[in-house]
Each structure stands twice: as structure tokens, then as C-alpha cells.
Amino acid sequence: MRAALLMISVLASGVMLAEEEESVEGGDKKPIPEPTVFISEHSSRFNGQTIKYTVTAGETYVRDKDGEPKAGIFTFAYTKNDVDDDEVRPVTFLWNGGPGSASLWLHMGSFGPKRVSVPSDASHSGAPPYPVLAAPETILDVTDLVFIDPVGTGFSRALGEHESKEFWGLKEDAQSMAEFIRTWVTENGRWNSPRFLLGESYGTTRAAAVANILEGEFMMSLNGIIFISQALDYQGSTPYIRDNIIAHITYLPTMSAAAWYHNKISPKPPNLEAFLDESRAFAMDELLPALFKGNTLGDATRAHIRDRLAYFTGLSPEYIERANLRVQGRRFAKELLREDGLAIGLLDARYTSDEIDDLNADPAGDAADHAISSAFKSALMAYMHDDLGVDWDRLYLAPADEELSGQWRYRTVPDGKSYEPMFVNTARDLASALRINPDSKVLLAAGYYDLVTPFFDAEYTLNRHDIRSDRVIYKYYRGGHMMYVNEPSRTTLLEDTREFIQQQTSN
């Protein structure tokens, strides 16, 4: 039953924080409105428990060094009501990736109390209306949830004299998200609550960097970090650079999974997991040394590698030869079903699309993205209006501010300081955070059919960079980048996450 809605703030046109002040130059500062917040009360059953909870959909202001608001970070915070005195209630901060993605995917796909239902078999979700269903499997029984939209996404914006581009960068973004968490925890009196970070895709890049800031600079220990479709060291998830040997290794098992799914492996092994173990072994023990040797590779060995690579990818030996034993991930997505006139999805290789130009080397778009994006966006907008009473004339940015992508900074040092570009890598931040806090652990969730952040890259990354193996728990799902669009994977992911949170808060 829809709860009564309480709007406790005013819109941007309402009461101002302060009268306009004169700037040093004699001009007027931009007026800053009070934060806009919408509050609603709800009650639902999660994991068999009836939970009464409050949804706070609104802005939290983070401030600059002078104490002035510099950004309004819009979040959807789900907090349990009537918590017993002896109950230790964790809080989990969730975000998606991009960079430049609002949190609608995690919010409406898996972890929110309502979800959009899209076909589990990787068929297109079609036209509206889309089913928005209760999600009793989600984890509100064990943790409060705060879904965060970074600046330039959702309703989040820079404030006053500050500009959005101040927040658009690898380090800048991580700093602002850490500052938000510190502010939210302070304003809500949650300093002694167990804390978790949950990020997807670039959100894992962000989570590793934020964890290091929280554990070190802010002295805010974390109980755990959940990575969904990890992307920490980009060398292993960059398949379109021809001479990047590492990506040819990390991508092969995902290509094998896709070829297996689409019946391009002959003979087709009955067990996917056992077949992927074979693909991993071939990639590490045979393909990697062969690519490393380059032109010194002998003819007989080259022929063997070509034929085995053809087997594990489902592509022809002739194509493998023309590719010089280097099958790039995006080209694979176009080539696997070329004879059928189809391209497979990048975010989820189970999806297919009939593209206009069958001769292109790469897909023109992403079959998975095209199949589900409208459903997710429509479901969130309807849920905000119908259930949460969010009535605001501000545009909800999903996709992000059109200037964000072009202005995003990956520099790790200030302008003017010597800097040699390299692959993005926040695995070092994770290693540092885990050394600072010996009790924190990582849950790694990976989809077998993810051609954007391959599961073997997660293994390659987290087994390096001085990260101890006993600090990482690996879980695999028969879905793609957003494995939760596959219904069995969605429920299993929630079960695994619930178990991880309970494990990390039981001591």
C-alpha cells in the first residue's frame, strides 16, 4: 500500500540558504537553495521479514574547504524504522559506473525494493508498459541501502560557484564520493554502523579508490566491498588495442562462454564450467607464451595455437589466421554470428541484434543495452513518481550530462606535473585499503557472458597487486555485465550478498 508522502523541503525556487553575498570581485554569488528532499514511509516483506522503512529521496550537500555547499548529491536512501537498541544495522552505499551512470541499474535491477522485470532469456524487453514488481528477495532485511548518483547524473549537480567538471575525474570523483559518505554518516548519526560499498563496472573502479580514502585519510573502516563486474586494472578489460597481449588472454574465457551459449563450439561440451576451465588453461599456458614470442613462434606451434583458438572461440581457423592469433573483443561480437546476420551483445553476449551493416568489423551498438535500457529508465521514472512522490521539474540525467564523457579526467597528478599516461588501475588502492584494515573483505560477482569486464580479468587482477587470496570471495553467474537481468542470477546474487554482509558483521 502506498504510504503517505511527506515533502520536507522546498524546490530550487524556494527559500535560500542565505541572502546573496557580495563576492571579492564585487559581483553576486549564485544563490544556493535548500536541499530538495522527498520522504515516504513504506512496509514490505524481505527475505520473509516484514520491514517498515523510510525512503529519503533527496540531496545531501557536500561542502568545500570554506564550508560552502559545492555539490548536491541526490540519493535514494532506504532506512529501517524502529531499530531495536541492541540491533546493529549496517548501511551499504551503492553506485553504478560509466563513468557517468546514475544508479538506476542497481536500484531497479536487483537491490531496490521494487524492480523492473525484463525477459530472463535475453530477448528484447519491447515497448512500455514494463512490469514493475515487488522485490522481496532484496537485502533490506540485513542492511540499509543508499543509492548514489554522482554529480552530472540523476538529479545531482554542482552548486554555487563550483562547476561540474570539478567532480569529473578518476581522483576527483572518488574524493567527492568519499566526502559524501562522510557527510551522510555524520548527518544521520551512523558513524558506528557497519559500512559496505557496492559498485558495478566503473563503480568498482570508484569503490577501490573510495575505500582507500575512507580507510586512510578519513579513518572510516569498511566491513566489506562488493564488486559487481569489476574493472580495476583496465589493461585486462581493454580489448580494442591490438598490441595489448593481456586483454587477449583475459577475454578468451568469456568468448568461449559466448560461443558455447550460441552453440558454436563443436563438439559442444556438456558442462560450461569445466569447458571454461579448459579455456583458462589454454589462455595462460599456451596462448600467452605464443603471443609473447611473436614472430619467433614456430610454424607448427602457430598452427596448433590457431586451431585451438578457433575451437575455443567458435571462429574459423581462417579468421584466426587473418587476425594474427589476436581476436579483439568487439570484433568477436560481430564475427561469431556473422553468417546468421547477427551481432552479439557486449554487456551480455546472450543478446543478439540484426544490424544494418553486416560487413562492419565491429558492432554498431550493443544488443544488450538496446534491449533493456528503455525498460530500466521508464521503470525508475514511474517508481519515483508513483511510489516515492518525487515531483521535481529538474531533468533526471540518465544518460549523464552530455559534457561529462568528453571532460572526464584520468590524470592521477595535478596539471603541470610530469605524468606518463598508463592504463587506469585502482587495484593498488584496494590493496592499500585491505592492508590498512585486516578485517575487510571483497565479494566479487562476475557474469560469464560479460564482454565488457570479463570474469577472467577479475581473477587476473585480484590475484595480483599484493592482494591476499583469502580476502576475496569469487562468485559467478550465467548472465552478463548486469547478471541480474537473468532471473536465477538475480536471486543468487542477492543471496550471496546477504550471506557476505552477515558474515562480515557477525564478529
The CATH number of residue 156's host domain is: 3.40.50.1820
Question: Do 204 and 302 have their domain in common?
Answer: no
Which residue reads 554569488 in cell numbers? 29
Residue pLDDT, tens place only, 409-427? 999 988 889 988 899 999 9
3-state DSSP assignment of residue 252 = helix
Question: Do 213 and 335 have their domain in common?
Answer: no
Residue pLDDT, tens place only, 306-364? 999 999 999 999 999 999 999 999 999 999 999 999 999 999 999 999 999 999 999 99
Which residue reads 563513468 in cell numbers? 99
Question: Do 298 and 382 have their domain in common?
Answer: no
Segment holding 352, helix H or strand E? strand 352-353
Q: Where are the alpha helices (DSSP H) in 387-471?
A: 404-407, 427-436, 455-462
Q: Give the per-residue pLDDT at 507.
A: 67
Residue pLDDT, tens place only, 287-299? 999 999 999 999 9
Question: Do 334 and 431 have their domain in common?
Answer: no
Question: Do 385 and 495 have their domain in common?
Answer: yes
Segment holding 52, helix H or strand E? strand 49-63
Q: What phi and psi, each to the nearest 5 degrees, are found at residue 114?
A: -125, 150
In which domain, by residue range, is 345 found? 243-368
Question: Do 198 and 98 have their domain in common?
Answer: yes
Give dist(CA 208, CA 430) in Å, integer. Answer: 5
Domain final residue, candidates 348, 368, 388: 368
Question: Do 325 and 226 have their domain in common?
Answer: no
231 φψ region: left (φ > 0), alpha (ψ -120 to 50), beta (else): beta
- Give the number of domains in the chain: 2
Query: Which cell numbers hold the place of 21?
Result: 553575498
Give dist(CA 132, CA 118) in Å, integer. Answer: 9
Question: Do 179 and 292 have their domain in common?
Answer: no
Please indicate, yes or no, if residue 448 is contained in any of the structural domains: yes
Please indicate, yes or no, if residue 106 is contained in any of the structural domains: yes
Question: Do 101 and 200 have their domain in common?
Answer: yes
Angle at 253 between CA 251 and CA 257, to 5 degrees: 115
Query: Which cell numbers hold the place of 315?
Result: 571462429
Question: Do 272 and 301 have their domain in common?
Answer: yes
Question: Do 481 and 352 have their domain in common?
Answer: no
Please indicate, yes or no, if residue 17 is contained in any of the structural domains: no
Shortest CA distance to 56 belongs to which of 42, 36, 35, 77? 77
Question: Do 167 and 228 have their domain in common?
Answer: yes
Shortest CA distance to 160 belongs to which of 56, 7, 27, 8? 27
Query: Which cell numbers hold the place of 250?
Result: 583475459
Per-residue tens of pLDDT for the chain, all 507 residues: 344 334 433 333 333 333 434 344 445 666 888 999 999 999 999 999 999 999 999 999 999 999 999 999 999 999 999 998 888 899 999 999 999 999 999 999 999 999 999 999 999 999 999 999 999 999 999 999 999 999 999 999 999 999 999 999 999 999 999 999 999 999 999 999 999 999 999 999 999 999 999 999 999 999 999 999 999 999 999 998 888 999 999 999 999 999 999 999 999 999 999 999 999 999 999 999 999 999 999 999 999 999 999 999 999 999 999 999 999 999 999 999 999 999 999 999 999 999 999 999 999 999 999 999 999 999 999 999 999 999 999 999 999 999 999 999 999 988 889 988 899 999 999 999 999 999 999 999 999 999 999 999 999 999 999 999 999 999 999 999 999 999 999 999 999 999 999 999 996
Angle at 394 between CA 393 and CA 396, to 5 degrees: 120
Domain final residue, candidates 322, 352, 368: 368
Q: What phi and psi, each to the nearest 5 degrees, are found at residue 29?
A: -75, 155
Give dist(CA 53, CA 140) in Å, integer. Answer: 9
| Residue 221 exposed, middle or buried by CB count within 10 Å (0-12, 13-18, 19+) | middle
Q: What is the pTM of this model?
A: 0.93
Domain final residue, candidates 340, 368, 396: 368
Q: How many residues does the chain have?
A: 507
